[in-house]
Amino acid sequence: MEDFYREIYAMNGVTDLKFPEHYPVSRLLGCVDVVGCVTCEELVSWEAIPASVRLEGQTAFCWLCEQPQKLIVPFEMRGYQRVYNVERKIYEAAFRGLSSVKAPQPVKFPLPDPRDPFSLKPGALASRSNCSSLSQEEKSPSLVAAIAGARAAATQFSKNNTFQPPTGDNIEDNEKPASSTIRHSGSS
């Protein structure tokens, strides 16, 4: 994956990427603002975003993320994968420990309908796209190899269907999950 991101960022002239020596496991590392979700086909043909971002479409659906923040001290989080609700006490403690990240190539995803903040969803761009992705001739051999490696990694991860969603038993008493609290901030 490091080779993939080196190639992706190099397309926009970013060559001084620093990767960690060791990757933490079973840790909450930070957060991003998820501003939408589109199909891979929509992402790779979306002309309003940089070509390097379009190349990140390696799975059926792609989360569109902005505003990365990292935890000063990562929290141990064992057992959960994918999307799940974080207990309120963990959310509140983590929120206090967040620090902004200066992304090497920040991206702002334009909304298909500026009046609707939820307009970036699968199918929203299908009628707007011109289906222009980078042709094979425009890709360097090293980029083609990096993309193949990323696709293999994405495919291997998506075939792991052993995930069991949390039952909610770990949320103490009457506490709502943090995501419900955020989504319905006016209710209690």
Q: Across residues 25-52, what is the average pLDDT?
A: 89
Q: Across residues 160-172, what is the average pLDDT?
A: 44
In the structure, what pLDDT confidence band is assigned to residue 159 with cuts at 50, 70 and 90?
low
Q: Which residue has the higher pLDDT, 183 or 110?
A: 110
Beta bridge partners of 41: none
Contact by Cβ (8 Å): 107, 23? no
Give 126's DSSP letter: T
Beta bridge partners of 30: 70
- Distance between CA atoms of residues 128 and 113, nearest Å: 11
Q: Please compute Rg for the chain using Cα positions.
A: 18
Burial class for 145, CB neighbours closer than 10 Å (0-12, 13-18, 19+): middle
Share of the chain above pLDDT 90, in %: 14
Read off the pLDDT of residues 55-92 as tens digits, 9 standing for 90 and up. Answer: 888 888 899 999 999 999 998 887 767 777 888 998 99
Please tell me the pTM assigned to this model: 0.65
Q: Across residues 173-181, what is the average pLDDT?
A: 42
